[in-house]
A and B are shown apart, each in its own frame.
Chain A
């Protein structure tokens, strides 16, 4: 059906008397997409776009939902819709850049708004009490907070609404800080107007908000840990110690990871290999831990609570409730750097082995820091190399009476390891600073460097050059990232949910990360993270169930679904499956896996997908008032 015909039809039913501005715009859009020219739809996407335009044209002038989807319940409720609007000053973060009083006054004039209040901090306990009391005293049926970002405070305000007896999904967040005051600091008047626009849109959407209940899923009380290094083994021991079953997958023939190659661990004085052996022995002695060596993860299906993991060494998949990545990192092999030959120019890791085997013969040693790090292509600092160099230099100088010089850019012996550097200096190790744009040159048995602090070019004789190379992301990271649908950062390390506040979680529930898979870390830091990851995982394992936000997609019109599978193909979370019914193939959302991103809804050309909490009518209600004062 063409736009022209359709508009005639709506006229007949007497719905639209004069086409609104938006309708005109949509019609124009319809024409440019070829509909007006009555061209046949060329492909699925085009057909879908046309359907969308069509559906939007079906809106009537008063701006309520399309006739065919109108939710009767919402309409009934509209009679006694009482919206409360709370305008937060955020100290001066908002109030300093726009006129909150004016904004609050304006909110009072909006339809269905029954209560308006300005708060210094809506997120403070006093602010929260204010909202809770207002809900009860003014019989509010919707709450809008115009403040900051939902990322930090939406859960808080939803909970406050619940305490006031409101369904938490009857809450609407309007962002007038990040989206307004902070970005329009110079233009107070315009910022104030924009805040009003945003609140008007929020009020329009709030009218269509629907109550929802969280979705509960069962959690299999088994954790699967990928990687059997210090981090992986620590996670296993911690979880098993609390009575949870654990499956440990290690790609190598034996457990231990990188640590088993290390010489002495500072400051314990324990051998790396011994530490690895101790941990491995304890893992072997724990009946709750099942270890699969020489195995890799080849496929993962499922979602939080119920993952089905295929291993390269097993025919039958393993079931687990949560997954923990402890895949570690790999020291960079400095091919082509400073004449690296594994004999006279070696890496710090090879140095560890020499020291561990007591085979260090060299008497004049030069160490070069940041070999392959903090430069174009690998901009990051690998965090642990300066301490490793200081430790090995200290051993070589004190135990082997070697003459050791460490060439560095910035000496990253942070925290208490400042003392390690000082101990090395006391033992006679020389630390010489060079500039990033003047790296040392290794020529035969001599290292040439311009010492920045001395302002002198030096030639240091060396029977052994040791390169401190950075830890690089494990080669398997991209594969795991693809299988598990968890992101990597720009360097190839796993990207946690929040760099500061959620360092061990992924944004996908049910998968955790720890140790050097996340970022280079010392052994103590890896153990801390592993213990922490065990705690994060146990919050799901201990409960045995998971509560998920009901903001998920729903195949609303099952009749209309043709089972084409487009939504299954585009879903980034594997949260839609196709099932056989007596009426043919149909799509179905796996609710606990769905993140509510809306990709399926945008893709479905039959428009049978409904996005909870972001329904067409909710969004279009917002769009309609966006430019209407």
Chain B
């Protein structure tokens, strides 16, 4: 990210939306709206003096709501560009008309409450869409109790908990009582491979759940992990070896079966009821925390963006590509890579990114071969 941010031939327009696209000559005229961040990007150096005094509060989206952030904030510590943003919905001055503490704290004068959204038109020869994914909200699957039971969390929330820079400093303190979770269940196919929600396989959950379970063991040698799965779809390079290592060296338990119900007791521990399909028996087990591997879906804005760009998507919002030219969308000059066109893991996304670069470069040279 830093490399892209510092590359002399890459200009990053963060906090910017595509509004309209028109054909112009061989390429396109792209209208974009750069949202007002109320902080001058050229002056702010993310020193954090403003954050220390800001009274506004909002759930931290990067930490999946596990903690609160101030109204003036850095999206995350390694974010590019490294400048503060004022969230107009939680800023006390912008909502109630009084405060401006950040302005007084900033010795560089980077705060600018008069900033307005800025519209720009960019002349481009090709467009590459790489809008990635959003995660399925598992609340409708009431048998898992997400939202109702505090110690049932999603995979991405777990990632923040186990992360050293996360809200718990990398310790698996469970949300209900801050107790260290020692026995954790990881539930696969939450919303994916499900005709009611996502009828496809998200492709990455089996591997990241295994990784998560191994991380828990690395943090706490006494912890135990149970992965409740359908098929374990570890098809990538060396993934089978990884799965084997998780079982043999990290004591990860694999149980073939879906969870039917989760009950909570007085201590906020969770009893999971499941069918062990290899024994055809209904069983139950007590857990201290349950992690749901939620389905990955195209980014919520993907359908709208696709409409703006004049390209086709499927019913979920995955971008349709041309047969035999998987980086090309249905519109000439617009290319796509990564999760926005189909579920994929990192190496596949990186290969696709190179492919999109190739197709875009070829298009720009006006000699597209296919």
Interface positions of A (Cβ within 8 A of B): 90-93, 96, 120-121, 123-126, 128-129, 155-156, 159, 237-238, 240-243, 268, 270, 275, 282, 374, 379-381, 383, 410-419, 422, 433, 435, 452-455, 489, 493, 499-504, 514, 518-519, 524-525, 527-529, 531-536, 538
Contacts and interface: CB of A to CB of B under 8 A. Distances in A.
Per CB-CB distance, the 8 closest pairs between chain A and chain B, nearest first, are A241-B369, A532-B354, A91-B165, A125-B82, A535-B358, A531-B355, A410-B231, A532-B355
Given A125-B2, A156-B2, A96 B170 contact: yes
B234 A381 contact: yes
Nearest to A181: B164
A262 to B, nearest CB: 14
A452 B240 contact: no
Contacts of B368: 241
23 contacts: A91-B77, A93-B164, A123-B78, A125-B5, A155-B3, A156-B3, A242-B362, A381-B240, A383-B236, A414-B203, A415-B203, A416-B342, A416-B343, A489-B237, A493-B237, A499-B237, A514-B351, A527-B325, A528-B352, A529-B351, A531-B326, A531-B354, A532-B351
B343 to A, nearest CB: 5
B238 A499 contact: yes
B103 to A, nearest CB: 20
Given A241-B362, A380-B238, A500-B346, A410 B45 contact: no
A455 B280 CA distance: 7
Contact of B326 (A155, A275, A414, A528): A528
Contact of A415 (B200, B231, B256): B200
A62 B33 CA distance: 64
Interface in B37-56: 45-47
Contacts of A527: 324-326, 355
B235 A528 contact: no
Contacts of B327: 528, 531
Most buried by A among B81, B193, B236, B327: B236
B350 A503 contact: yes
Contacts of A91: 77, 164-165
* Residues of B contacting A: mostly: loop
Contact of A124 (B2, B342, B348, B354): B2
A418 B198 CA distance: 10
Given A417-B201, A453-B277, A499-B237, 8 more contacts: A121-B78, A126-B45, A128-B6, A268-B324, A416-B200, A418-B193, A435-B278, A500-B347
A378 B47 CA distance: 54
Interface string B251-277: 000001000000000000000000001
B344 interface: yes
B240 A415 contact: no
Contacts of B318: 416
B365 to A, nearest CB: 6
B109 interface: no
Interface in B318-340: 318, 323-327
A238 B46 contact: no
B323 A121 contact: no
Contacts of A275: 324
Interface string B201-238: 10100000000000000000000000000011111111
| Residue among B80, B231, B324, B354 having the largest count of chain A Cβ atoms under 10 Å | B354
B69 interface: no
A525 B361 contact: no
B331 to A, nearest CB: 18
A455 B279 contact: yes
B160 interface: no
Contacts of B237: 489, 493, 499, 518-519
A168 to B, nearest CB: 13
Contacts of A412: 231, 233, 235
Interface string B298-333: 000000000000000000001000011111000000
Contacts of B348: 503, 525, 528
A27 B78 CA distance: 50
A453 B280 contact: yes
A238 B369 contact: yes
A96 B5 CA distance: 28
A499 B242 CA distance: 13
B216 to A, nearest CB: 15
Contact of A531 (B2, B82, B279, B359): B359
B241 A380 contact: yes
Contact of B343 (A270, A414, A525, A536): A414
A489 B6 contact: no
Interface residues of B, number: 67
Given A124-B77, A125-B46, A454-B280, A415 B344 contact: yes
B330 to A, nearest CB: 15
Q: A418, A435, A504, A533: which has the most chain B beta carbons within 10 Å?
A: A418
B136 to A, nearest CB: 15
A452 B277 CA distance: 7
Contacts of B2: 123-125, 128, 156
B353 interface: yes
A503 B349 CA distance: 10
Interface in B113-151: none
A479 to B, nearest CB: 22
B238 A489 contact: yes
Contacts of B88: none
Contact of A532 (B78, B200, B358): B358
B358 A503 contact: no
B106 interface: no
B107 interface: no
B156 interface: no
Contacts of A120: 77
A483 B368 CA distance: 34
B82 A124 contact: yes
Contacts of B277: 433, 452-453
Contact of B240 (A237, A238, A270, A379): A379
B53 to A, nearest CB: 19
Given A452-B277, A531-B327, A126 B82 contact: yes
B133 to A, nearest CB: 12
A379 B46 contact: no
Contacts of A374: 240
B230 to A, nearest CB: 9
B231 A411 contact: yes
B110 interface: no
A532 B352 contact: yes
B365 A242 contact: yes
B169 A125 contact: no
B316 to A, nearest CB: 10
B239 to A, nearest CB: 7
A381 B239 contact: yes
Contacts of A454: 280
B89 interface: no
Contacts of B241: 379-380
A567 B244 CA distance: 42
Contacts of B235: 381, 383, 412, 414
Contacts of A90: 164
A519 B367 CA distance: 31
A159 B6 contact: yes
Nearest to B163: A91
B126 to A, nearest CB: 13
A224 to B, nearest CB: 18
B357 interface: yes
A369 to B, nearest CB: 11
B355 A529 contact: yes
A407 B365 CA distance: 50
Given A126-B82, A128-B2, A241-B362, A92 B354 contact: no
B199 A418 contact: yes
B240 A380 contact: yes
Contacts of A538: 358, 361
Given A92-B165, A532-B358, A415 B323 contact: no
A156 B234 CA distance: 33
Nearest to B352: A528
